[in-house]
A = this chain, B = another copy of it.
Amino acid sequence: MTVTISYHQLLSSSGIATQLPKNRPSLIRCTPSPVSNPVLRPELSIRVGTRLIPHPKKVDKGGEDAFFVSSYNGGVIAVADGVSGWAEKDVDPAQFSRELMRKASSLVGDEEVNYDPRILVKKAHDATSSTGSATVIVSMLDNNGILKVANVGDCGLRVIRKGQIIFSTFPQEHYFDCPYQLSSEAVTQTYLDATVTSIDSMKGDIIVMGSDGLFDNVFDHEIVSTIAEHKDVAEMAKVLADLAYKHSVDFYFDSPYSIKARSRGFDVPSWKKALGQKLTGMTNKI
């Protein structure tokens, strides 16, 4: 499960150098841009903290998630989650998600991408040759403060402003626990299936991105309260990821995933949860 937290801040030119520690790839800044809108700011930067916790059964391989953070333009953050079903076919599910993120990372400045996250998804998908499939979310902040998001599947993003969630992506799925996904096979989704949204961000906005491991195990109100309790984005990412992990192995925690599963006619007994098997049974046809 992956968590990335970005804090959107306004810095003076002289402030950037002193406030951003050196050699820290998770910190992003951009150069001043022309102002054409009264709510935009002449200089913006985002501060990023990240945390990846592999599934307990996938620790030896480092999990199936992959992500990258780039300082290109206003900043680019992407998360991909390899679909675990490929393991049954002796394919490492992490191969596809990792290559997808590597390719996307190398394409952020591509002329054809032209700062469109959907086109970045297309070109990265086209360039990926590994077998497998993955859910993916890409967010790009431009120099005008507009955060553009392309999403395929059940990774997610929340924007928190003044202690309230003001923006959220929604998971896309074919049926319960079967998300939209990009794949090495021709039958699945493409960039055309991405939900493409944007939000005019403001100084102080907190952007929370992650794979389903975060949003399946942590309620939105817990994300908001956790964010409020910490000032450093790296600390926020760590605490949220640890909370998601704690809930995922807690026999008695009724998670967002469990509640959703029940509403679809599934049940998630605690002993199955302990074994890392999320679902069992199907009492209603879906």
Q: How many copies of this chain?
A: 2
User: In the complex, what residues of B have CB within 8 A of residue A178's CB?
Assistant: none
Q: What 10 A-B pairs are tightest by C-beta distance, nearest first?
A: A196-B200, A197-B199, A166-B195, A198-B198, A166-B170, A165-B170, A39-B192, A167-B197, A164-B172, A197-B197
User: In the complex, what residues of B have CB within 8 A of residue A221's CB?
Assistant: 263
A168 CA to B161 CA, complexed, in Å: 16
Give 24 CB contacts A-B under 8 Å: A38-B192, A39-B118, A39-B192, A118-B200, A161-B195, A164-B170, A164-B172, A164-B173, A165-B170, A166-B170, A166-B172, A166-B195, A167-B170, A167-B195, A167-B197, A168-B168, A196-B200, A197-B197, A197-B198, A197-B199, A197-B200, A198-B198, A198-B199, A221-B263
Give the B-binding residues of A (Cβ under 8 A): 38-39, 118, 161, 164-168, 170, 172-173, 192, 195-200, 221, 263
User: In the complex, what residues of B have CB within 8 A of residue A263's CB?
Assistant: 221
Q: Which residue of B lies closest to A148 (CB)?
A: B198
A197 CA to B199 CA, complexed, in Å: 4
Q: How far is the CB of A192 from chain B (nearest CB, A)?
A: 6
Q: How far is the CB of A76 from chain B (nearest CB, A)?
A: 18
Q: Which residue of B lies closest to A147 (CB)?
A: B197
User: In the complex, what residues of B have CB within 8 A of residue A118's CB?
Assistant: 39, 200
A172 CA to B164 CA, complexed, in Å: 7
User: In the complex, what residues of B have CB within 8 A of residue A198's CB?
Assistant: 197-199
Other than the given A161-B195, A197-B199, 6 more pairs (CB < 8 A) read: A39-B118, A167-B195, A195-B200, A196-B199, A198-B199, A221-B263
A39 CA to B164 CA, complexed, in Å: 33
A39 CA to B150 CA, complexed, in Å: 13
